[in-house]
Homo-oligomer: A and B are copies of this chain.
Amino acid sequence: MEIKPIAYIKTDFKTKFGIPRQSGRVKSCIGTVVFEKEYRSPDYIKGISEFSHLWLLFDFSEAHKEDLSPTVRPPRLGGNKKVGVFASRSPFRPNFIGISSVALIGTECSKEYGTVLKVTGADLLDGTPIYDIKPYVSYTDSHPDAVCSYADIHKDYKLKVVFLNGCENCLGDYELKILTECLADDPRPSYQEDGKTYGMEMFGKDISFSVKGDTLTVSEIKH
């Protein structure tokens, strides 16, 4: 089946490194869903404001690759335990479609883009193509007591984030909040390399940090 994007999302995540691995980890982050021209009639979203949450079906656009492995190594398992691709939310799958539940905070009318949706909790790369938007229906979609294997064990995992020498002062409140949430979620590719300095880009700035134990220390934020 051929599928075509119906929208794309604008977010603060301009590079892949640092994006939370599951939706809703960075709750404060505001994303803007911009519809493709043919879907900009407000009819397409009539009544959507009466839902608090939405599903976005999106393109794992940075993960397209030909050679698929049947197993993946979830970063939350330290990168050394394999699980099947269908037992994981890894982007490297036969069909590159992700699902993400986001909170709808409102709609806005924009001259350039028509009506857009403002959402939070969308941990998606800026410009990610969206294939579908569906209302979240709790009586079918919500299973608060579901058993979730390794995802359960690590759900409360958070790093303590420390900024050295007031380097966070160059950020606004919103930026600081998002960055702190992203860093607390541990953006490192695996959990093996304590002490190594990592670089990451966010809000047009270069952020240098290292991790020791449960503490992530930001040493520098450069323009």
User: A residues near B, CB below 8 A?
Assistant: 1-4, 6, 22-25, 39, 41-48, 50-53, 55, 57, 59, 70-71, 82-89, 93-97, 99-101, 131-152, 155
Contacts and interface: CB of A to CB of B under 8 A. Distances in A.
A84 to B, nearest CB: 4
9 smallest A-B Cβ distances: which pairs? A50-B149, A43-B70, A46-B84, A47-B83, A52-B147, A48-B87, A47-B87, A3-B95, A86-B133
Given A2-B2, A70-B41, A94-B6, A141 B47 contact: no
B131 A97 contact: yes
Nearest to A141: B101
State the main secondary structure of chain A at its contact with B.
mixed
A204 B166 CA distance: 73
A28 B213 CA distance: 47
